[in-house]
Structure 1
Amino acid sequence: MILSDKTLLKMIEERTLIIEPLDRKQIQPASIDIRLGNTFSIVEDSPTGIINLEKEIQYKTITSDTYILLPNQFVLATTMEYINLPNNVTAFVEGRSSLGRMGLFIQNAGWVDPGFEGQITLELFNANRCAIELKAGRRVGQLVFAKMDDTALNPYNGKYQGQKGATGSRVFLDYEIE
């Protein structure tokens, strides 16, 4: 079940859902707007030109209120908002159609697990032929919340728990179960 603005407001007031900073204008009928933060990370060039999933990937991270995203460039960014989901609520990250129509693709794997706490890292890609100026504080997407049928048996406590800023891939920490 998708949560309404009325339910979201009640959860925020009760502090069972934490989103900070939050302006009441961000609360929409069935979602909460998220804004672009001020940290951006790009993958460092490797000597081989190949990213190896078993090794830690190096990133260059900058803090700035403005970032120029060049055509066909990929950058990690972060939300201004720090969130803390209860163990019975999940969230979906959705980009804004207005930005997609400019060629700015906003993603983050699209899913936030119950129990997650931290800023959300966004993957941004400029599919346009022109550069796009990104500014901290601008609305870039929205979180749509859904209540689960029960509390999660194993709420999120993974490698991105508590992240702040544009956090690079930690895929090298994965392991295979054989």
Structure 2
Amino acid sequence: MGILSNKCTTSDLDALVTGTESGDFWQRGYGGPMLLSDRDLVSEIKAGTLGLEPFEPTLVQPSSIDVRLDRLFRVFNNHLYTHIDPAMQQDDLTSVVEVPDGEPFVLHPGEFVLASTLEVISLGDQLAGRLEGKSSLGRLGLLTHSTAGFIDPGFSGHVTLELSNVANLPITLWPGMKIGQLCIFRLSSPAEHPYGSVVYGSRYQGQRGPTPSRAWQHWRTWPTR
């Protein structure tokens, strides 16, 4: 039966894929979505469909590319607001801090700051990405992404990092250090409307440095009853 159990047939699974003829789902094989290996990552970079600038070849891993920490951080101005409201524009909620040459940024226990990758990352319309933390840093209590690790096809810009220290000691963050690993996936087909398309009003396309939340733009809620 291969990967199918005795309770699930090929026809049953084909029926879940709308708009395809019977068996087409399986015939795609390795032409379908997949995580790219080191050789495929390099091929995409050479083809211009995946961009990292600056690119350091020694950072390519078996199925990811290590990315580095930039020198800019956004800290929260707790004394200016009584609360955070994602529906409101709060321009002074954060301030940019630039770390001097040769010095680290100290992230204290329980603190949360925004940072960004050193690399500008650009994805073609058939590639999507996930930015994962480094195991060695996670074992020290550093969370690289509180929630938003997904990168849409078509995105171009620095990736904003959501850094949290869940340890009970301060953690020093050195500009230029390895901060995460970028995994790239090939989509089953090119996105019809990649990130940055007018139809989406993409709020973070082309972002430079750690970029604060723009949730208030195009804000809406849906009925819950």
TM-score after normalising by structure 1: 0.95
**Unaligned segments of structure 2, at least 5 residues:** 1-33, 197-201
- 51-60 vs 32-41, which moves further: 51-60
Asked which structure has the greater RCO (Cα within 8 Å, sep 6+), the reply is 1
Deviation at 1:29, TM superposition (A): 1.0
Deviation at 1:139, TM superposition (A): 0.6
Query: For residues 77 and 203 of structure 2, what CA distance do their matches in structure 1 show?
Result: 21
Aligned residues: 178
Structure 1 or 2: larger strand share? Answer: 1
**Unaligned segments of structure 1, at least 5 residues:** none
**Partner SS, residue 12 of structure 1:** helix
Deviation readout 1:90-145 (Å, 9 max, x if unpaired): 00110011111111111051100000000000000011111111001111110110
Deviation at 1:40, TM superposition (A): 0.2
- 168-177 vs 1-10, which moves further: 168-177
Identify the residue that residue 62 of structure 2 maps to in structure 1: 29
**Partner SS, residue 98 of structure 1:** helix
CA RMSD of the aligned region, Å?
A: 1.4
Conservation of the 8 A alpha-carbon contact between 2:87 and 2:219 = no
Q: Does 1:60 align with 2:95?
A: yes
One of 91, 105, 108 as aligned partner of 2:129: 91
Query: For residues 115 and 213 of structure 2, what CA distance do their matches in structure 1 show?
Result: 12
Deviation at 1:71, TM superposition (A): 1.0
Q: Does 1:106 align with 2:144?
A: yes
- 48-57 vs 102-111, which moves further: 48-57
Identify the residue that residue 8 of structure 2 maps to in structure 1: none
* Structure 1 segments of 4+ aligned residues over 3 angstroms from their partners: none
TM-score after normalising by structure 2: 0.76
Q: Is the radius of gyration larger for structure 1 or structure 2?
A: 2
Q: Does 1:152 align with 2:218?
A: no
